[in-house]
Structure 1
Amino acid sequence: MKQAYQDFKPWLRLLLRRRQRFLLGAILIWVTLIAGLSLLGLSGWFIAACALAGIALAAGLPSSLDIYVPGGGIRFFALLRTVVRYVERLYNHNTVLTLLADLRFRVFGYLTHLDDTSLRRSRAGDWLSRLTADIDTLDNLYLRLLMPPVVALLCVLAVPAFIAIWMPGVAIIVVVTLGALWLMITLGSAWLGFANSYQQTSDQRELRHLVLDQVQASAELMSYRTSAWHQQKISCQEVHAAANQRRLVFKTALGNAAVSLVTGILVISVLWVGSVAMLEGHVSGPILVMAVLILLGVNEAFSVLPAAFVKLGASHAAVKRLNALSTSPANLGKITLPTSCSGPLVSLSNVSFRYPDMLEPAVNTVSLTLPSTKRAVITGASGAGKSTLAQLLMGRISPTSGEVSVSDCAPCEVLADSRAANFAMLSQQVDLFDGSLAENLRIANPDANDEQLWRALAQVALSDWAQRQPQQLDTPVGEKGQQLSGGQARRVALARLFLRSPNMVLLDEPFAGVDAQTAKHIAHSLDQWLGNKTVIYFVHQVDDVSLLPGVEFYWQLDEGRLITDTGMHNPLPQ
């Protein structure tokens, strides 16, 4: 239990940042419940009092009853319950959505500090699961594990206190019984369903992975005639998950049955003890009816607890997975690079890098030196290790062996903000977001004005196209840039680089997806912009030397090893 509390502690602290919203939400739930109990109890009292008054009048006995005050009270509580419930639903759902946004922001922050090696240890679907499914599971923590128990506990105190006005002995029975029920349902349900709900999270994750594998690798599975085997594996996992879920539902039903049983016995006990008190003249019949109906209504406060606490294990599993992100090796860095107007000296000494679970290193004993403000090109076929080498220079991954140095600093030890200010890279993967053209450009420089944006677009030969669009800079690019062609999306990513002033620039296939004329325009823009920066081009092969002006160093990668053509300091072959 202590370990579970430690696991939940960081997320509970996050909740306490919005404790006013949490408390107000709990109060709204409590007021809604009290209004419902008051409506039920007062209605019961009013009906019973009217019945007794009618019997008395029919028997010729004098009787009087004020119907206006209780009638007004019934209307008041009915209206109060409706209005407060509506406000409570709006307010608490807004609170939960806000808390989920806080959670996703924190988890996404953890992910941004992980290097590429750590990210590759899990599938993309697994990271997405942590951002969605695991965080959504914590919805159960805030909305069902914290608010309802607090509200139920307040009812355990409020209802007996109200009954004690007329029947103190009955109130003692009620508070002891309801208190014991509260402990039994919260702690008992959590203990009873912890293992099954914990397992449910693992079952769902495994089933999700198997289904995604079936879809993504369908061609390979069909080629090797293993589709039926894999489908059978999915079916077995479904059967296993369904069996565990049935056990969980059964335990939830046990909790609900316990609530109904205890509250039913409590109602019968109160009715019996209250009847004795009524016969002795200590309490009137309508008051007894009111007390019994209020206790029947208390069932509403307890009925939501079993299903919530049975799933405590699922919340704990999600929390442990999210906590693992905060304790993962983070590429935070400790060094700030000096700001200068010239590019840095780049040096690699016997650098090797092997991805987890790979037999061969992606980069193998690479050594090179690129003087400050010079330009180089590294060629190689797909899979030769060019992108891995670029990631090493950017500090996104750390070498398995050897040393990488930029301005006499290991890039992986440089602070993220300092790296962002000094290094820039155009990767093969283009990241565009579902926003406008201007919003995607301003990712590189939030303070850039429209004139700077148009200048950057002109440098990549996109300004004419953008001006022809009805919304111009406000043109939506679609999710992942789907509204643009591949070449246009790549040029938008390149335009973002022109909005920055880095000292070292890495360009991975900068002319991919464009025609020869556009490539020459971009090459000319790059030549002017690169100036006295340290530059490395990563390309498959050099087809047109004029696209790489100013390049003085030429290397070639082959299966992770560096091959030099006739001398490291020779210019590009003509």
Structure 2
Amino acid sequence: MKFLHNDLNPWLALMLRRRQRFLVGALLVWVTLLAGLALLGLSGWFIAACALAGIALAAGLPSSLDIYVPGGGIRFFALLRTVARYTERLYNHNTVLTLLADLRYRVFGDLTRLDDASLRRRRVGEWLSRLTSDIDALDSLYLRLLVPPVVALLSVWIVAGFIAIWLPLVGAVVACVLTLLWLVITLGFAKLGFANSHRQVDDQEELRRLVLDQVQASAELMSYRTSDWYHRKIRSHEQQALDNQRQLAVKAALGNALLMAVTGLLIIGVLWLGSLALAEQRVVGPIMVMGVIAVFGINEVLASLPAAFVRFGASHGAAQRLNALRATQEQTRVDSLPDGEGGHALQLREVMFRYPDAAGWAICQVSLTLPAGQRGAIMGISGSGKSTLANLIMGRISPTEGDVWVAEHAPSAVTLESSAAHMGYLPQQIDLFDGSLADNLRIAKPDATDEELWQVLAQVALSDWAKRQPRQLAAQVGERGQQLSGGQARRVALARLFLRSPSVVLLDEPFAGVDAATARHVAASLDAWLVGRTAIFFVHQVDDAALVPGLAHQWRLDGGKLIHDTSF
């Protein structure tokens, strides 16, 4: 039980921040259920009382019955149940949506704090599962595992206490039997279905991964004639998932069957004990009928619990996976880079880095020094380690061995706010969002004026193109910049970099995807903009020195090793 508490406690604490909303929602559920039980019991009493009064009158016996008070009560509880049900659905749906927003905000925040090495351990689809299926599983903590059992137990005790007013023994029996039943269908069935429900989420994620891999690697599978083998692998895993799901469904059905059997036997017991009390004239017939029907209505209160608790393992598994995000987060960032004119010096000392589960080193014993305000170029073929080295300098990953310093601070320990303010990076992979050109530029500077946007577009040779668009700055770039060419997308990202004022600038293939004339125009803009900043160009080869003017240092990276150092 302790490990369950430790795994679920962070998410329960997050939910309890809105405890007032949850208490109001639980109260509405409780009122709805009690109104239904009161309506059922009072209707049973009223029907029985009318029947007995009619029988007495038919037999010539004097009889009277006030139909207005119980009739008014029936109307009141019917209206209360309807209004409470509508209000509860409306209020709790809003609460659940708010809870989902809180959960996703928390998880997305955890994802943003992971370094690149941790993010690369899993596919994009697996991270998407953290934000969707795992959060949906945690959402059931409130909807199915917290409110319903608490409300059900309170309802059981209230019904038992109400019956005990006239029939103390019957009330005690109802309380004991239903409390024991509550424990069995909550704690008992949570344990019974724990392993199966835990495995069900893993099966769904694995099937999703296998199917996506099949689609993405269909050409390779056909080339190697392994498509049939892969299909069999998917079908085999699918059959295992179906078998596990069937076992889970059987256990949920067993819970429902147990609930119906126990409540059915309890109704017979209440009827028997009530008839004994009726024979001894300790209770009248309508009261006995009301008690029996009230116990019958308890079945509705408990009906949702077996299916919910038999899947408790899914919620626990989701909590474990989401907790692991925090366990693998990078170290706490506490440092800030100093403000001031000019760039910051860069220094690497015997830096080594290995990606998780990789056989060899991506970066091996790299040492370099770049004084503040100077420019350098690191050359190397694809796969030589340039992007990894750039990520080390930016602090996106931490070195396995050795030290990286930016202005005598480890970049992986610098706060994200300070890093964003003082360091700029143009990576190979460009992130543009489905919005307007202006919106994508203002990510770098939200208060930038239109004049500033046109200025940076001119610096990257995109202003003429933008002016030819019907909507100009409001032109849509499409999801991931699909409306732009690769070279245009890189220049939009570079223009976004121009809007900031970083002290350290890393440029990974800044001229990729552009023609020679455009490259020279962009190089001239970079030359003017980089004055006083510390900059490193990551390129395959410096074929045209005019594209990287002002270089003070030049290195070559091969297989993760810095094998050549030329200063000039």
TM-score, structure 2 normalization: 0.94
| Counterpart secondary structure, 2:507 | strand
Alignment correspondent of 1:105? 105
Instruction: Give the distance between the partners of 1:79 and 1:347, measured in 2 at CA.
Output: 75
Q: Counterpart amino acid of 1:342? A: G
SS at match of 1:138: helix
| Matches of 1:50 and 1:164, distance apart in 2 | 24
Cα deviation, residue 18, structure 1:
0.6
Residues 393-428 of structure 1 deviation map (CA, whole Å, 9 limit, x = unaligned): 111112233332222233223232222221110111
Q: Deviations over 1:128-154 (max 9, x none)?
A: 222222111112212100010111011
Asked if the contact 2:110/2:329 (under 8 Å) is kept, the reply is no
> 1:568 maps to what in 2?
566
1:201-255 Cα distance to aligned partner (Å, 9 max, x none): 2222222222222122222222222222222111111111111111111111111
Which residue of 2 is the match for residue 338 of structure 1?
338
Whether the 8 Å contact between 1:141 and 1:315 is mirrored in structure 2 is yes
Q: How many residues align?
A: 568
Q: How far is 1:448 from its partner?
A: 3.4
The CA distance in 2 between the partners of 1:272 and 1:228, in whole Å, is 65
Q: Distance in 1 between matches of 2:274 and 2:472?
A: 78
SS of alignment partner, residue 412 of structure 2: helix
Deviation of 1:13 (Å): 0.6
Residue of structure 1 in register with 2:28 after alignment: 28
- Aligned residue for 2:365, secondary structure, equals strand
The 5 A counterparts of 1:180-219 are 180-219=180-219
Match of 2:12 in 1: 12
Mapping 1:274-423, distance limit 5 Å: 274-423=274-423
Q: Which residue identity is paired with 1:143?
A: L
The answer on 1:441 being equivalent to 2:441 is: yes
Is contact 1:115-1:331 (8 Å) kept? no
After superposition, the Cα gap between the structure-2 partners of 1:154 and 1:408, relative to the gap in structure 1 and judged at 3 Å, is same
1:241-282 Cα deviation digits (max 9, x unpaired): 111111111111111111111111111111111122222222
1:244 and 2:244 matched: yes
Shift of 1:314: 1.4
Using the alignment, how far apart are the partners of 2:91 and 2:277 within structure 1? 44
Segment of structure 1 superposing worse, 436-445 or 154-163: 436-445
Q: 2:69 matched to which residue of 1?
A: 69
| Equivalent residues of 1:114, 1:331 under 8 A apart | no
Shift of 1:11: 0.9
Which segment is superposed worse, 388-397 or 514-523?
A: 514-523
Structure 1 range deviating more: 547-556 or 240-249: 547-556
1:43 is aligned to 43
Is residue 2:114 matched to residue 1:87? no
**Which SS does the other structure have where 2:145 is aligned?**
coil
Structure 2 partner of 1:234: 234
Secondary structure of residue in 1 paired with 2:193: helix
Question: For residue 173 of structure 1, what is the aligned residue in structure 2?
Answer: 173
Counterpart of 2:357 in 1: which secondary structure? coil
The aligned residue for residue 490 of structure 1 is 490
Q: How far apart in 2 are the matches of 1:197 and 1:4?
A: 15
Which secondary structure does the structure 2 equivalent of 1:144 belong to? helix
- SS of equivalent residue, structure 2 residue 190: helix
Structure 2 contact 509–538 (Cα < 8 Å) conserved: yes
Displacement of 1:387 after TM fit?
0.8
Letter aligned with residue 514 of structure 2: V
Q: Conserved in 2, the CA contact under 8 Å of 1:430 and 1:490? A: yes
Deviations 1:171-204 (A, max 9, x none): 1111111111111111111111112112222222
Letter in 1 for 2:562: L
1:490 deviates by: 2.3
Partner of 1:258: 258
Q: CA deviation at 1:27?
A: 0.7
Partner of 1:505: 505
1:113–1:332 Cα contact (<8 Å) kept:
no
1:516-527 correspondence to structure 2 within 5 Å: 516-527=516-527
**Residues 476/25 of structure 1: CA separation in 2 closer, same or farther (3 Å cut):** farther
Which amino acid is 1:508 matched to? D
> In structure 2, do the counterparts of structure 1 residues 219 and 254 end up closer, same or farther at CA, with 3 Å as the change threshold?
same
- Secondary structure, aligned partner of 1:146: helix
Residue 317 of structure 1 deviates from its aligned partner by 1.3
Q: How does 1:435-474 map to 2 (within 5 A)?
A: 435-467=435-467, 469=469, 472-474=472-474
Give the unaligned 5+ runs of structure 1: none
Aligned equivalent of 2:432: 432
Counterpart of 1:117 in structure 2: which amino acid?
A
1:220 aligned onto 2:220: yes
Structure 2 Cα separation of the partners of residues 493 and 55 of structure 1: 89
**CA-to-aligned-CA distance 1:285-320 (integer Å, 9 cap, x gap):** 222222211211111111111111111111111111
Comparing 43-52 with 270-279, greater Cα deviation is found at 43-52
Q: Distance in 1 between matches of 2:197 and 2:219?
A: 35
Q: Distance in 2 between matches of 1:209 and 1:195?
A: 21
User: 2:440 corresponds to which letter in structure 1?
Assistant: N
Q: How far off its partner does 1:8 sit?
A: 0.9
Secondary structure in 1 matching 2:340:
coil
C-alpha spacing 1:26/1:356, structure 2 compared with 1 (3 Å): same
Q: TM-score, normalised by structure 1?
A: 0.93
- Report what 2:132 is aligned to: 132
Specify every segment of 5 or more residues in structure 2 that has no aligned partner in the other structure, as ranges: none
Q: 1:98/1:470 Cα in 2 relative to 1: closer, same or farther (>3 Å)?
A: farther
Once the two structures are overlaid, the 10-residue window that deviates more, 340-349 or 249-258, is 340-349
Name the stretch that deviates more: 504-513 or 74-83.
74-83
C-alpha distance in 2 between matches for 1:143 and 1:418: 41
Equivalent pair of 1:437/1:477 in contact (CA under 8 Å): yes
Q: Secondary structure at the match of 1:350?
A: strand
| Mapped partners of 1:80, 1:438: distance in 2 | 53
Amino acid at match of 1:187: L
8 Å contact from structure 1 (residues 364, 560) kept in 2: yes
* SS across alignment from 1:157: helix
* Higher alpha-carbon deviation: 395-404 or 20-29: 395-404
Could you say what secondary structure the match of 1:145 adopts?
Answer: helix
Question: 1:454-508 deviations in whole A, cap 9, x for unaligned?
Answer: 4333433344544555555444443323344333332222222122111000111
d(CA) in 2 for partners of 1:65, 1:463:
89
Quote the sequence identity (%).
Answer: 66
Tell me the distance in 2 between the aligned counterparts of 1:473 and 1:269: 78
Contact 2:460-2:522 at 8 Å conserved across structures: yes
Tell me if the contact between 2:460 and 2:494 (Cα under 8 Å) persists in the aligned partners. yes
Structure 1 SS opposite 2:132: helix
CA distance in 2, matches of 1:463, 1:142: 53
